[in-house]
Structure 1
Amino acid sequence: MMLLAGTYDGVYRADGPEFDAAERVLDAGRAMRVRRFDGWDGAFAATKTGLYRSTDGGDSWTNLDVPREEVYSVLGDPEGKRLYAGTHPAHLYVSEDDGETWRELTGFQDLPSRDEWYTPRHRNESHVRSLGAHPDAPARVVAGVEVGGVHVSDDRGETWTERKGGVRTSEESAGSSRAERSDGVHDDVHHVLVRGPDHYVASCGGGLYRTADAGETWTRLDEGVEHTYFREAFAHDGTLYAAAARSSPGTWRGERGADAALFESTDDGDTLESVSYPGGPEEVVLAWTTDGEGRVVAGTNDGGVIVRSAGEWVAGGRLPEGVASLCRV
């Protein structure tokens, strides 16, 4: 069993979660996502210099030549037929021949809010930060845009609907008359965890949200915590894991670092329990996976790798750059 880490400086490989002896296997600049998909051979690395694929455990990589160079997200569909790539600026491409050729899904550009997708921090543009699908609904593609919201396609990406509104507070979900309805899921979407055909958890720059109806309505989960800048959530063996900082990455340097927190929930996010971890609170967890023994492994913005072992988080090594994504191969 090996683990791949997508970092601020390419992709590294390690035998298990002991990353002190990791080697860089792909020199591709900043890696946004490293992912493996059931029904697809090998691993994919979405980076700012292209989308790469390795079918030999990371020894060699092939650039799949997506029409736009900066690839922020990738999805191999559950049917093993369509490979998707989300880019910066926010465009979406599909390949039906294993990455040999690409076609833009122009329907993604027809969403009503498309002209509002931009942020000064990213050249006044946006990017498709997250792509997901579930085996029980293989034709449904879920896209998260930074900055631009959550969008869903039920025809394999050809046409799209916005799923940004109808957010409820957790009190309202429980039937409290005191709760107020908010405007919608936060537009600064970093990751959408697809837990079921209609069940998603969205990690945003302004909160953590859950839907049980494919985004028609959303429940905000982080009302009881002080940290609201979430980057990615992860679910394993009945526990939902999430981590957040108090603010955006521009505040993560200095004496206090990210001032972050790591949360665990056994009730699908209705309650978030803050737990201690090596590197916290100065380092914020950005990436998750499991190792070959079923343990959860996480990576931080400062290159730390931590492992959930025997009921607590322990150190698992350190990489020379921040860890943006983790993947077991």
Structure 2
Amino acid sequence: MKFRSFKISRNFHKWTGFVCAIFILILAISGVLLMHRDSLDLDQIEISAQYLPDKYFRLVKDKLKIQAVAVHPENGSIIFAGTGNGLFRSTDGGQTWQSLHDGLRDGNIQALVISPSEPSMIYAGTSKGIFLSEDGGDHWTDWFEESSGLSHIDIRDLILHPEHPELLYAATPGGLFASQDGGDTWELTFDGGSYQGAADVRFVRFSSKARSLYIGTANGVFKSTDGGKHWDKKWEDALPLPRELLSLDTDPEFIYAGTDEGLYISYNRGITWVRDPTSKDKAVRQLVVDPRKTTHVYMATRHQVFVSPDGGDSWNSLGFEAEDGATLDLLTLVHSPKQSSPTLMAGTSEGFYISSNGGRSWGETSLAETIQQKAGGHLKMDLVKLMTEIHTGRFFGDYVYLLVDIATLGMVFLVFSGFAMTVYRKRVAQSKKVTLQVTEQVTEEEAVDNLLNIQETADDLSQESLEIHDMIEHINSHLAKCRSVYISKEKKEIDKIGKHITTLDKKMHHLMERMEEFYKLSQN
């Protein structure tokens, strides 16, 4: 290693160590805070969304895509609508809407479920976990994520057991999770096993009497008859990949499977299947049954809504068709005590539509009008979650991988540059010049440091000598011009020469000081 390379390596070593120290300090502080979050009550400290990156909130568009709908089991006028930009509630059947955001730290609502025994208890599945409200959506007090055992927090679907509301199931891209205590703790009950892609669970459904559990995955449908302990793959060769599943309380049980190639019906608990000719080549997105008339089945395709009054033998198109460019994503049915016909709600990628007369006429309700600012402006994140985001790297988004790579390379460079400088210093210490200068008053380390300082001073003096030489050459060029300038009675060049001579004088004085410093170092 040359001395100039040694100087460059030493500077890089110093600054790289400084940057890596900051990176490690951030990890250490966030880790310590997470370890003592209970004793410090960090979950009580909330950070406003205005201080968080833009990814924690979204701008509300003119129209909102409806991703989830839930209706109060005792009051059909109370409707909850989950969108990609927040959660909304209507108490007048969809005429007006209110934004719900107090404690709801993620605006991407992908699943909603209301407890049938306690309607004020609402669960919201989001892309960052599950939130719980115990007062009808006004406040969201609990947040279930990794710390509760929910290792995959992107919730695709969420259901409650109709007879045991403390039992929940959550569908995620990493499998099916179950909670037996109302969401406080979760355990993985289906991970796909040996089936490739089966861990990607898209939906979860109960059979008509809640005796069996069905899940739709990227590898097909699986069934469990013991609450999720054991699973069997079903209808592998009988059906295309289902997007939706519905079973009727009949004997034998009727099962309807919605696929991208149409509707398939089984009248014998899934033993055999027939393809419905009405929905041929229509992608079936949602299936619902009228709880008062179980033979009335409603089907939502990509753009239309159909009804069958006879359990699927025949289908009639209702007066709904999604506008151009929009797709129909979900369909919900609810009965009002004051109406004989059911109320239908259709959510599309562009808006929310309601029919109070069984589908004969439809009206659009605009949710976006309830908010004229960023949905995330109402959101807050507690300090524990923020520290978790920072410690795990999710806070930095896509740049975290680059940051980790840079820190890793920095640590590697620290090791190699430190090793190289150590070897270089050892070679200097072993040189004859150093060993001859080591006396009783000067240790070997001090001698090495003195020699390195002498080399650095000599290197600087050499650079300054070159600068003085260049200055002299520059002055000579001005002197050459001065002859012609003097003849033309112009004095600009003479003034320039005077300035350069002054600068040269300063350089010479500085050089003499460095020479004296060099002399003192060499004497040591």
Aligned twin of 1:242: 257
Aligned twin of 2:68: 33
TM-score (norm 1): 0.70
Alpha-carbon distance change, 293 to 226 in structure 1, aligned in 2, over 3 angstroms: closer
User: 1:45 Cα deviation (Å)?
Assistant: 1.4
Aligned counterpart in structure 2 of residue 105 of structure 1, from 131, 135, 143 = 143
| SS, match of residue 131 in structure 2 | strand
User: 1:34 Cα deviation (Å)?
Assistant: 1.9
Aligned twin of 2:81: 45
Q: CA RMSD in A?
A: 2.6
Q: How does 1:103-252 map to 2 (within 5 A)?
A: 103-106=141-144, 108-111=146-149, 114=151, 117=152, 127-145=154-172, 147-165=173-191, 182-183=194-195, 186-195=198-207, 196=209, 199-225=212-238, 227-228=240-241, 230-238=242-250, 239-245=254-260
Alpha-carbon distance change, 198 to 290 in structure 1, aligned in 2, over 3 angstroms: closer
Alpha-carbon distance change, 43 to 269 in structure 1, aligned in 2, over 3 angstroms: farther
User: 1:166 Cα deviation (Å)?
Assistant: 7.8
Alpha-carbon distance change, 226 to 206 in structure 1, aligned in 2, over 3 angstroms: same
Aligned twin of 1:255: none
Report if aligned partners of 2:204, 2:213 keep a CA contact under 8 Å in 1: yes
| SS, match of residue 46 in structure 1 | strand
| SS, match of residue 156 in structure 2 | strand
Aligned twin of 2:328: 323
User: 1:263 Cα deviation (Å)?
Assistant: 1.3
Aligned residues with identical type, % of pairs = 26
TM-score (norm 2): 0.46
Alpha-carbon distance change, 73 to 61 in structure 1, aligned in 2, over 3 angstroms: same
User: 1:106 Cα deviation (Å)?
Assistant: 3.2
Report if aligned partners of 2:144, 2:183 keep a CA contact under 8 Å in 1: no
Larger-Rg structure: 2
Distance 2:163 2:216 in 1: 22
Distance 1:52 1:328 in 2: 18
Question: Which amino acid is 1:300 matched to?
Answer: T
More strand by share: 1
Distance 1:129 1:216 in 2: 21
Distance 2:212 2:317 in 1: 32
Task: State the Cα deviation string for residues 286-307 of structure 1 (Å, max 9, x = none).
Answer: 1122357551111112x11122
Asked if 1:82 is matched to 2:121, the reply is: yes
Asked if 1:96 is matched to 2:109, the reply is: no
Distance 1:38 1:97 in 2: 15
Asked if 1:277 is matched to 2:278, the reply is: yes
Segments of structure 2 that go 5 or more residues without pairing to the other structure are 1-60, 335-524
Aligned twin of 1:58: 94
Distance 1:27 1:35 in 2: 22
Alpha-carbon distance change, 158 to 184 in structure 1, aligned in 2, over 3 angstroms: farther
Aligned twin of 2:485: none
Aligned twin of 1:309: 309
Task: State the Cα deviation string for residues 14-69 of structure 1 (Å, max 9, x = none).
Answer: xxxxxxxxxxxx97511112232524652221211112222222212222223211
Alpha-carbon distance change, 226 to 61 in structure 1, aligned in 2, over 3 angstroms: same
Report if aligned partners of 1:263, 1:275 keep a CA contact under 8 Å in 2: yes
Alpha-carbon distance change, 210 to 87 in structure 1, aligned in 2, over 3 angstroms: same
Distance 2:218 2:231 in 1: 16
Distance 1:39 1:184 in 2: 42
Report if aligned partners of 1:144, 1:191 keep a CA contact under 8 Å in 2: yes
Aligned twin of 2:289: 290
| SS, match of residue 137 in structure 1 | coil
Distance 2:72 2:196 in 1: 30
Task: State the Cα deviation string for residues 104-128 of structure 1 (Å, max 9, x = none).
Answer: 433555537x2xx5xxxxxxxx721
Report if aligned partners of 2:258, 2:285 keep a CA contact under 8 Å in 1: yes
| SS, match of residue 79 in structure 1 | coil
| SS, match of residue 127 in structure 1 | coil
Question: Which amino acid is 2:190 matched to?
Answer: K
Question: Which amino acid is 1:48 matched to?
Answer: G
Task: State the Cα deviation string for residues 252-282 of structure 1 (Å, max 9, x = none).
Answer: xxxxxxxx1311123333433222224x31x
Alpha-carbon distance change, 50 to 140 in structure 1, aligned in 2, over 3 angstroms: same
Alpha-carbon distance change, 91 to 107 in structure 1, aligned in 2, over 3 angstroms: closer
| SS, match of residue 167 in structure 2 | strand
Report if aligned partners of 1:33, 1:46 keep a CA contact under 8 Å in 2: yes
Question: Which amino acid is 1:63 matched to?
Answer: S
Distance 2:62 2:247 in 1: 30
Distance 2:300 2:188 in 1: 31
Distance 1:158 1:184 in 2: 30
Alpha-carbon distance change, 284 to 33 in structure 1, aligned in 2, over 3 angstroms: same
Distance 2:271 2:177 in 1: 24
User: 1:164 Cα deviation (Å)?
Assistant: 0.7
Report if aligned partners of 1:184, 1:218 keep a CA contact under 8 Å in 2: no
Report if aligned partners of 2:148, 2:184 keep a CA contact under 8 Å in 1: no
| SS, match of residue 155 in structure 2 | strand
Alpha-carbon distance change, 108 to 241 in structure 1, aligned in 2, over 3 angstroms: farther
